[in-house]
Each structure stands twice: as C-alpha cells, then as structure tokens.
Amino acid sequence: MTIYQKQLSEFKQDYFAGATTGILVSSCIGSIAAMLILMNGHTVIDMIQLGIVVVVCMWYNASVLAQLKAKFVFNSLIASILVSTSFILLNIL
C-alpha cells in the first residue's frame, strides 16, 4: 500500500476532521505564499503568481464546501499544498 493510498483511506474514514484541518493548512500556506509574492513586487508576473495561488487554495475550499467526493477533495488539498509550497520556494530564492 502506497503512502498516498494510506493517507487517502485515513482521509476518507475521518472526512470532516481531515477537511477542516486541510482548510486551515491550505489557507495558512497559501497566505504565506501570497505574502512572499507581494513582498517581491507588484509586476504582472507577480500578480499571475498571486492569482494562481488564490485560485488553487479557493478550489480546495470550494470542493470541501460543495461536499465533493473524498478522493477529489484530498487531491485538491495535495495540489493546493504543492502549488503554494512551490511558490514559497520560488519567491524565497
């Protein structure tokens, strides 16, 4: 059993706790990414980066609020964390 499948099965078993924690984590990491992007300037490239971070984080929040299937919500959480983390690293370096 892979790590992904193990985490997905745990997420499915306790969906509401995982979704709530995911909203907190996604929002916090997304806001850190947004802060770092805005600290670098206000160019068009920075605004595109900011837009991508906002859309991906809101995608996850909307999928939780719409009560979509657990697998879709879990994949959205992973995408949100990966995108936000990559923009954090991109703007730190």
Report which of residues 42 and 32 the model is more confident about.
32
Nearest residue to 88 (alpha-carbon basis) of 24, 48, 42, 29: 29
Residues 6+ apart with CB under 8 A from 27: 57, 61
Q: Is the pLDDT of residue 1 over 80?
A: no
Using a pLDDT cut of 70, give the percent of the chain over it: 99
Question: What burial class does residue 27 get, using C-beta atoms within 10 Å of its C-beta: 0-12 exposed, 13-18 middle, 19+ buried?
Answer: middle
| SS3 state at 65 | helix
Q: What is the pLDDT of residues 38-80, one digit of tens each?
A: 998 889 999 999 999 999 999 999 999 998 999 999 999 999 9
Domain boundaries, the chain: 16-92
